[in-house]
Structure 1
Amino acid sequence: MPTAADKIRAVFADAGCTGWLHARRCDESAAEISVGGQERVVTASVYKLLLFVAFCRRVDAGLLDSTARLTVIPSDCTPGPTGIAVMRDPVTMSRRDLATSMMTVSDNAAADVVLGEVGLSAVEELLIDLGLTETRIVGGTADQFRSLVRDTDTHTTAEAFAVLADNDDAWSVSAYDPSYTSATTPEEMTRFLRAVWAATVLSDEQTEFVRAVMRKQAWPHRIASAFPHRGVFVAGKTGTIGAIRNEVAVVEFPDEHPVAVAVFTRAARADPNLPAVDAAIAESARIAVTELRRPLPQE
């Protein structure tokens, strides 16, 4: 009989993508599902989750007031299809609401504002403290977009993404190479999620804030689509750039141990919409989570 890992590899192959996955329960068990789980992969916007937790640690330490209000000028911001970047007039929000927008709709503009408030050193401290030695965040979305413009020999972010989406040209860009851009491993991401869910990274208040915000992610087309059941929560963060499509999440069934799952893919094509790859992320997560589900102990 094929193993869960065999089934997951077949799902990726059928979708025309290379895939890496790791899943584990948020308990003390060593049980895991791994398909290339130790290999380094590109984070894309999954880096915003690490930035989010670093922000919450600063709040816990009393170094940031999460309710302080900032005014952001959209025309000065990192481009993006959601959040502040699509606004035309100045926007005033609290720091925690900016962080929420960064997570729930993957707001690029909000993410770079939050990074400016937190500092890259705070993210690096988080990685060191948690022993995530294979994870590296080299900058924010604006940094990544500047790299794309340079690598594609274009003048604007829009032009760079148009080149990136052209399947007739084989572009080698640093955004696809974990040696040059922000990167992690699927195993380190599930280890990180398990630590956050165990409330060993943040205070109880900030832990619940992270969980609540992640459960409100707006995108239902990847891992969440595999668990459309009443009472089941999927707390996730997606990441997408060109041929890269990712999501990391904690799947919470009632009266069961939560399961952390991280799925990273690189498709053979770079079309703006690749529903077959999104579906493969969902199906591979479903296989892994189903294999690992266990009930909570009875009191």
Structure 2
Amino acid sequence: MTGSGAPRAGVRRAVRSRIADAFADAGVSGVLHAVDIDAGTELDLGADTLHSTASLHKLCLVATLFREAAAGRVELTRRIELPAGAERSPGGTGVAAMLDPVAMSLRDLASLAIAVSDNAAADALWDELGLDTVNATMAELGLTRTVAIEPLREMYAGMREDAGPAGPAGLVDPAVVARLRALDPLRSNRGTPRDLTRLLGAIWRDEACGGEYGVGLRRVLGLQAWSHRLASGFPFDDVRVSGKTGTLPTMRHEAGVVEYPDGGRYAIAICTRAADTAAALPAADAVIGTAARMAVDALRLVERGTTTGR
């Protein structure tokens, strides 16, 4: 931990050790960054390690949409049509799973991209904004190591090519997984936990965009349907968790904000890799919530003198 009010070095080492042990027990390697959005106190465990971001990059995409709208360059209510068939990006949720043409507003596409990680909705926004605009926005916000190089349709096309004749069934073969470009942060969309918490802090402090656009952006980021990772560490009715998952073979990530009723706000980003190539690893999902809870409890103990039992 660093920042104002940093705890003793022994406490810092103890918390980091507990988190590392939790990752190991779950069969994953993991990196983490957590920061008190208002006080600036932080806890890191490999926070500057570059990772493939997978669907975590939808945070960057949607933040750019609302920032562009706040600048008057995009109209959030403009409707566009997503054709059916092979032109639609693959995926099992949202528009990506639908069979007929769909027309909706840009902000509703953003909602689906976050709420159910809809790849077709996200790629429609990538097409609307452009990779260069998203990357320039991240650079403006200080995310120096976060870069998008391709929309999701291209990432999945690359995975199909890398998987070869075995197709999707090959994605549990360690030899196939080892050659997936999508898992290589030097050949895929990428970022670091520290960059992602910097983005989330900017959003929650109205630095990414303010007024109704900041409110609208935070509303969208609070819509995620999945509660098996980050949110699992905070099972309380009065604690709000907003977040976005990212998932590829052996990779399970999440970045989000945890808000307590006493006003405490904490941005957290966790990236993990599992040794096991199985698609279903409940312990690997759950440890993201466990590690996040440890980190937030430590930050609250430093800044507020209590974790209030939570």
TM norm structure 1: 0.93
Shift of 1:295: 5.0
Q: Residue type of the partner of 2:193?
A: P
1:177-234 CA-partner distances (Å, limit 9, x unpaired): 1111111111111111111111011022111112111111000100111111011110
For 1:59-138, list aligned pairs within 5 A. Answer: 59-75=69-85, 76-138=87-149
Residues 120 and 281 from structure 1, CA distance in 2 versus in 1: closer, same or farther, beyond 3 angstroms? same
Q: Residue type of the partner of 1:42?
A: S
Shift of 1:64: 1.4
1:259 and 2:266 equivalent? yes
Q: Is the 8 A contact 1:74 1:84 kept in 2?
A: no
Alignment counterpart, residue 234 of structure 2, candidates 211, 221, 227: 227
1:23 and 2:23 equivalent? no
* Percent identity (aligned): 39
Q: Is the 8 A contact 1:79 1:109 kept in 2?
A: yes
Q: Is the 8 A contact 1:26 1:258 kept in 2?
A: yes
Paired residues in the alignment total: 291
Alignment counterpart, residue 8 of structure 1, candidates 7, 19, 44: 19
Shift of 1:38: 1.2
Alpha-carbon distance between aligned partners in 1 of 2:129 and 2:211, rounded to the nearest angstrom: 20
Residues 135 and 168 from structure 1, CA distance in 2 versus in 1: closer, same or farther, beyond 3 angstroms? closer
Shift of 1:45: 0.3
Q: Residue type of the partner of 1:179?
A: L
Alignment counterpart, residue 32 of structure 1, candidates 38, 42, 49: 42
Partner of 1:194: 201
The unaligned stretches of length 5 or more in structure 2 are: 1-9, 306-310
1:117-167 CA-partner distances (Å, limit 9, x unpaired): 11111111112212211111111111111211222224xxxx643211235
Alignment counterpart, residue 57 of structure 1, candidates 60, 67, 89: 67
Q: Residue type of the partner of 2:100?
A: D
The unaligned stretches of length 5 or more in structure 1 are: none
What is the root-mean-square deviation of aligned Cα atoms in Å? 1.7
Instruction: Specify the SS of the correspondent of 1:62.
Output: coil
Residues 203 and 169 from structure 1, CA distance in 2 versus in 1: closer, same or farther, beyond 3 angstroms? closer
For 1:151-170, list aligned pairs within 5 A. Answer: 151-154=162-165, 160-167=167-174
Q: Residue type of the partner of 2:242?
A: A
Q: Is the 8 A contact 2:19 2:294 kept in 1?
A: yes
Alpha-carbon distance between aligned partners in 1 of 2:184 and 2:106, rounded to the nearest angstrom: 32
1:45 and 2:55 equivalent? yes
Alpha-carbon distance between aligned partners in 2 of 1:261 and 1:117, rounded to the nearest angstrom: 29
Alpha-carbon distance between aligned partners in 2 of 1:115 and 1:81, rounded to the nearest angstrom: 19
Alignment counterpart, residue 174 of structure 1, candidates 159, 174, 181: 181
Partner of 2:296: 289
1:79-120 CA-partner distances (Å, limit 9, x unpaired): 101001111111111111011101110000000001101111
Q: Is the 8 A contact 2:233 2:292 kept in 1?
A: yes
Q: Residue type of the partner of 2:247?
A: T
Instruction: Specify the SS of the correspondent of 2:178.
Output: coil
Q: Residue type of the partner of 1:48?
A: K
Alpha-carbon distance between aligned partners in 2 of 1:122 and 1:111, rounded to the nearest angstrom: 15
Q: Is the 8 A contact 1:167 1:271 kept in 2?
A: no
Q: Is the 8 A contact 2:142 2:198 kept in 1?
A: no
1:276 and 2:283 equivalent? yes
Alpha-carbon distance between aligned partners in 2 of 1:290 and 1:273, rounded to the nearest angstrom: 28
1:210 and 2:221 equivalent? no
